Amino acid sequence: MHPMQVLHSMSSGNDSPKGIDRKTVKRVWDFSTPYRPMVIGFVVLIVVGTVVGLVPTLAFQDIIDVAIANEDTTRLNWLGLIVVAAAITSAVVSMVERWLSSRIGEGIIYDLRDKLFRHVQAMPLGFFTQTQTGALISRLNNDVIGAQRAFTTFLSTVIGNVINLGITLVVMFTIEWRLTILSLIILPFFLIPSRRVGARMADITRESMELNASMNTTMTERFNVSGAMLVKLFGRPKVEADDFGNRAARVRDIGIRSAMLARVFMTAMTLVGALGTAAIYWIGGQMVINGTITIGNLAALSLLVVRVYLPLTALSNARVDVTSALVSFERVFEILDMANPIVDAEHATELSNVRGHIRFDGVTFTYPSSDESTLASLEDGAGRRLPKRGPGSKIGAGLTPLTETPLASSGPEREVLKGINLDIDAGQLVAIVGPSGAGKSTLLNLVPRLYDIDQGSIEIDGHDVRSVTQESLRGAIGVVNQDPHMFHDTVGANLRYANPDATDQQLVEATKAARIFEVIDDLPDGFDTVVGERGYRLSGGEKQRLAIARMLLKDPAIVILDEATSHLDTENEHLIQQALETALDGRTSLVIAHRLSTITSADQIIVVDDGVVVERGTHDELRSLGGLYDTLYENLLRTDTMPA
C-alpha cells in the first residue's frame, strides 16, 4: 500500500468509530480480582522505582550547586556512591517488576483459555455444526493473547507512567513551580487526539482480528485430510491459493495501516514534547540569567521535563494500545457469554443400572437456527464463503439436486420430526428404515440428547433424558456413526477413549468380537500404530469395525448404530454382520439399517418417512401391509449383495 493511501484510509471511512464499551472495561476489572495482590505489589514497585529513578537527577543538581560550588570532595564522593546504589536498586526493582507483570499476563492467558475451552466444549452439537472451527480457534489463540496485552500494557505503561508523572511533577514543582506549569500548557495536545485515535485503532483491531479468523478458517478447513482431498480431486488449488492470498493480503494491508496510524500519532506526540522541552530551556535560561533560579535548578528541570513528556507520550500511546487490545477482551467475553441451551437440570440425577427401555412420546423436533446456536461472527468466519462460480457456469445445471432442503439459517424453520411415538423394550433390536432425509439419524441423535426436543418427551427406563445428567446418559449409550471418527493417535489410544481403564486383554477381546483383531495384528506396530487424522489409513469397513470395538469397550446398555449406506463387499459385510451379532447381543439396539440381514433379524421395524413413523411391526407384518416398507424391501432385494 502507498503511504498516502494509508494516511488517507486512516482519516476516511467510519466517521464515528465504535470504540470500546464501558461495560467491557468494568468486566475486565472484575476479571482481574484474583490478581489484585500481585497488581498492588507491582504498583508499589513502580513507586519505589520512580523515586529511586529521581535520585541521580537530584544528586546532579546538588553536585552542581553545592559540591562543585564549594569544592567539597567528600560530598561529591558520597553523591557518587548514592547514584551507584540507586542504579543497582532500580535494576533489581525492574527485574521483580517484570517477573510480576509476566506472572499476571500469563496467568490471564491461562485463565481465559481454560474458561473458553471448558465453555466451548460444553456447547451443544448445534453450536459446532454452525460454527467455523478456524474462527473459533482464532479466538482462543489470537484474541486471548490480545486480551492479555490489554491488561499488561495497562499495568506497565498506564499505571507505571501515571505514577512516574505524578512524582516527577511534584519534585519539579518544589524546584520551580512557574516553569513546571509552563511545561504543562501543552497537555491538551496530548489528551485530545489520543481519544479519537484510540477509538479508530479499536476499529482497525476488530477488523484485523476478524480477518485473521477468516484466514485461520481457510487453513483449518483446507488442511485436514478430507478438505485437502476435496481440493485435489476437484483440482481447484489455484483458486484456493488465490483466495487465501487475498485474505492474507488484507491482513497485511491492515497491519500496515495500524502501524502507520500508531507511528503518525507517536511522532506528533514526540514533536509536541520537543516543543515543551525547548520552552523550558529558553525561558529557564532567561531565569538563570535573571538570577531567579540556579544553574543546578535548570539542569535538574531540563532532565526532569523529559521525564514528564516521555510518560505523556507513552500514556497517550497506551490509551490507543489498550483500547485496541480491549477489543480482544470483548471478543473473548462474547464467547463466554454465549448461553448453553443444553445443560443438566438443577436436580439432575444419575442414570444408573440402565435396562434399556426407551419411550418416545409425541416428540416434535426442529433443528435450531444458526442465530440460536452460534454467533454470526463465528458462523461465517467473518465473511468467509466458498469461492463463487462465475455467472456463466453451467456446472450442475442439468442435475436435479437430491434434496432441496433449505439450510437451517435461511428461510422458515422446518419440523424434521412430527409427533413421534415409540416404545422399545429393553434388549430389543429395532431396525429403522426410510428414505434419505426422512429423519432417521435425527431421531437417534435425540436419545443421547445431542439436541433438545421441542415437544413431547424421550424416556429411558422411565427417566426423561432431560432429568438425568448428560454424562450418565451418554455413559449408558454407545454410538457407532456412519463415518466414525478416529483421533490422530494410536489404535490403542483410540479404543481406550471409550474406556481409559481397559486392560490390554480387554482390547484384544473387544477387537476380536468386532472382527478387527486380525487387521490390527497385521499393522506394523499392532495396537501402537497411529491411525491418521480421521483414521484415514483404515478402509471404510475396517474403520466401522474398529468403531464397534470401541463401543464394546464402553459396554453400554443401549447401542445406536448408523449403518454405512455404501455397499460393502461380501467379505466385509460378513465380518460386520458377525461383529454386530456380538455387539448387539443383550443390549437395546437402535439400528438405522440398510442391509437386509439386519432388517429381517430385528424384533421391531420402524419405517420413517418425512418425520413421521408411517409403519411399525415385524418383517412379515410389514410385508403383508404392502406399504412403504414393502417398496423399500423390494428395492433392497434387487440391489443387496447378501439377501437374508
Q: Which is nearer to Mg ion, 141 or 441 (CB)?
A: 441
For Mg ion, the binding residues (CB under 5 A) are 441
Q: Is residue 358 a contact partner of residue 424, using CB atoms and an 8 Å limit?
A: yes
Which SS3 state, helix, strand or coil, does residue 363 take?
Answer: strand
Among 61, 370, 442, 490, binds ligand ATP (CB under 6 A): 442
Q: Which amino acid is at 243?
A: D
Positive or negative, the CA dihedral 593, 596, 598, 599 is positive
Among 436, 500, 571, 638, binds ligand ATP (CB under 6 A): 436
Cα–Cα distance, 599 to 594 (Å, whole number): 8
129 binds, among Mg ion, ligand ATP, none (CB under 5 to 8 A by kind): ligand ATP
367 binds, among ligand ATP, Mg ion, none (CB under 5 to 8 A by kind): ligand ATP
CA-based radius of gyration for the chain: 35
Q: Is residue 616 a contact partner of residue 606, using CB atoms and an 8 Å limit?
A: yes
Cα–Cα distance, 88 to 78 (Å, whole number): 16
Q: Which is nearer to ligand ATP, 320 or 591 (CB)?
A: 591
What DSSP line would sit under 74-113, residue for residue? HHHHHHHHHHHHHHHHHHHHHHHHHHHHHHHHHHHHHHHH
DSSP3 helix / strand / coil % (the chain, rounded to 5): 65, 10, 25
Q: Minimum distance from CB of 403 to ligand ATP (Å)?
A: 6
Instruction: Give yes or no for residue 566 binding ligand ATP (CB under 6 A).
Output: no
353 binds, among ligand ATP, Mg ion, none (CB under 5 to 8 A by kind): none
- Of 14-22, 142-150, 372-380, 435-443, the segment contacting ligand ATP by CB under 6 A is 435-443
Reported as type and span, the H/E element at residue 508 is helix 504-513
Q: Which is nearer to Mg ion, 441 or 597 (CB)?
A: 441
Q: Which is nearer to ligand ATP, 353 or 436 (CB)?
A: 436
Cα–Cα distance, 552 to 511 (Å, whole number): 9
Q: Which is nearer to ligand ATP, 116 or 602 (CB)?
A: 602
Q: Minimum distance from CB of 547 to ligand ATP (Å)?
A: 17
255 binds, among Mg ion, ligand ATP, none (CB under 5 to 8 A by kind): none
Instruction: Give yes or no for residue 202 binding ligand ATP (CB under 6 A).
Output: no
Cα–Cα distance, 71 to 619 (Å, whole number): 116
Among 24, 89, 129, 457, binds ligand ATP (CB under 6 A): 129
Residues 6 or more apart whose Cβ sits within 8 Å of residue 481:
547, 562
Q: Minimum distance from CB of 591 to Mg ion (Å)?
A: 12
Cα–Cα distance, 93 to 49 (Å, whole number): 6
Q: Which is nearer to ligand ATP, 340 or 405 (CB)?
A: 405
Q: Which is nearer to ligand ATP, 313 or 442 (CB)?
A: 442
Among 139, 222, 440, 550, binds ligand ATP (CB under 6 A): 440
Cα–Cα distance, 559 to 548 (Å, whole number): 10
Q: Is residue 265 a contact partner of residue 197, using CB atoms and an 8 Å limit?
A: yes
Size of the site for ligand ATP (CB under 6 A): 13
Instruction: Give yes or no for residue 227 binding ligand ATP (CB under 6 A).
Output: no
Cα–Cα distance, 208 to 217 (Å, whole number): 14
Q: Minimum distance from CB of 541 to ligand ATP (Å)?
A: 18
442 binds, among Mg ion, ligand ATP, none (CB under 5 to 8 A by kind): ligand ATP
Of 368-407, which residues contact ligand ATP (CB under 6 A)?
405
Q: Minimum distance from CB of 369 to ligand ATP (Å)?
A: 9
- Cα–Cα distance list, 407 to 386, 399, 454, 564, 592 (Å): 15, 19, 19, 24, 24
Q: Minimum distance from CB of 531 to ligand ATP (Å)?
A: 25
Instruction: Give yes or no for residue 416 binding ligand ATP (CB under 6 A).
Output: yes
Among 441, 469, 578, 600, binds ligand ATP (CB under 6 A): 441
Instruction: Give yes or no for residue 367 binding ligand ATP (CB under 6 A).
Output: yes
Q: Which is nearer to ligand ATP, 1 or 614 (CB)?
A: 614
Q: Which is nearer to ligand ATP, 332 or 599 (CB)?
A: 599
Given the DSSP bridges, would you call strands 558-562 and 588-592 parallel, antiparallel or unpaired? parallel
Beta bridge partners of 365: 417
Cα–Cα distance, 43 to 29 (Å, whole number): 16
Residues 6 or more apart whose Cβ sits within 8 Å of residue 629:
433, 605, 607, 615, 622, 623
Cα–Cα distance, 145 to 113 (Å, whole number): 10
438 binds, among ligand ATP, Mg ion, none (CB under 5 to 8 A by kind): ligand ATP
Q: Which is nearer to ligand ATP, 393 or 436 (CB)?
A: 436
Instruction: Give yes or no for residue 438 binding ligand ATP (CB under 6 A).
Output: yes
* Residue numbers at the binding site for ligand ATP (CB under 6 A): 129, 367, 405, 408, 416, 434, 436-442
